[in-house]
Chain A
Amino acid sequence: GESVGLHLPTLSVQEGDNSIINCAYSNSASDYFIWYKQESGKGPQFIIDIRSNMDKRQGQRVTVLLNKTVKHLSLQIAATQPGDSAVYFCADYSGGYQKVTFGTGTKLQVIP
């Protein structure tokens, strides 16, 4: 079936460095792609989204890149901080009501 998956289960980054979290998707009909952050013991928190007709979107310290040719999505976090330590999920949405399909997740560990 259609799925959204991540390349790496765990990513360790030095504090202050940039982080890049990658995601592959298979549903070419997806309208939106979304990144969520989930800290331990909490529910997922929306970070940023991107429409399928865009290839880049920037937020505060975060940038999402979309490459539809290879069905690849990435989240870049600038100047990674200890508070960025969490599991990051990419997710997609393909229309209709708000059925959002999540990937497995990447755990980001920030080394002080």
Chain B
Amino acid sequence: DAGVTQSPTHLIKTRGQQVTLRCSPKSGHDTVSWYQQALGQGPQFIFQYYEEEERQRGNFPDRFSGHQFPNYSSELNVNALLLGDSALYLCASSPGVLAGLELFFGEGSRLTVL
């Protein structure tokens, strides 16, 4: 049973560019959340998707957007990249938006903005 998978694992972009990160949830899970983890910090909640809609959003600008597809996979898009966007981007899935708090995390996509 595959867990949460994310791609790409590493990528390098320059300021002003745009990036798309992808996530496939664990089998049987329909809810996906995205987190940003800066070096040496705890993950920060970006937003959550359920039934292809953004259900809750953290304190992130509109440059951060997302999408959930009918197969429950999700994308995170970041426009107009800033140096401060360099971080590990984590996707987490769960079997229902109110099903509990045992989030299953992927190994993340490491984004470096130069």
Residues on B with beta carbons closer than 8 Å to the beta carbon of A41: 107
Residues on A with beta carbons closer than 8 Å to the beta carbon of B65: none
In the complex, which of the residues A45, A98, A104 contacts B101, with contact meaning CB atoms closer than 8 Å? A98
Chain B interfacial positions (CB closer than 8 Å to A): 4, 31, 33, 35, 40-45, 48, 50, 55-56, 58, 90, 92, 94, 97-98, 101-108
**Inter-chain contact B50/A97, CB cutoff 8 Å:** yes
**Inter-chain contact A46/B42, CB cutoff 8 Å:** no
Give chain B nearest CB distance to A88 CB in angstroms. Answer: 10
**Inter-chain contact B107/A46, CB cutoff 8 Å:** no
Give chain A nearest CB distance to B87 CB in angstroms. Answer: 13
Range class of the A interface residue count:
20 to 34
A43 to B55, CA, bound (A): 23
How many inter-chain contacts with C-beta < 8 Å in the A-B complex? 64
**Inter-chain contact B42/A93, CB cutoff 8 Å:** no
User: 4 closest A-B pairs (Cβ-Cβ)?
Assistant: A43-B105, A102-B42, A97-B56, A46-B102
Asked if A61 is an interface residue, CB under 8 A from chain B, the answer is no
**Inter-chain contact B43/A44, CB cutoff 8 Å:** yes
**Inter-chain contact B101/A100, CB cutoff 8 Å:** yes
**Inter-chain contact A98/B48, CB cutoff 8 Å:** yes
| Beta-carbon nearest neighbor of A92 in chain B | B101
**Inter-chain contact A99/B58, CB cutoff 8 Å:** yes
A101 to B101, CA, bound (A): 12
A4 to B97, CA, bound (A): 22
Give chain A nearest CB distance to B51 CB in angstroms. Answer: 12
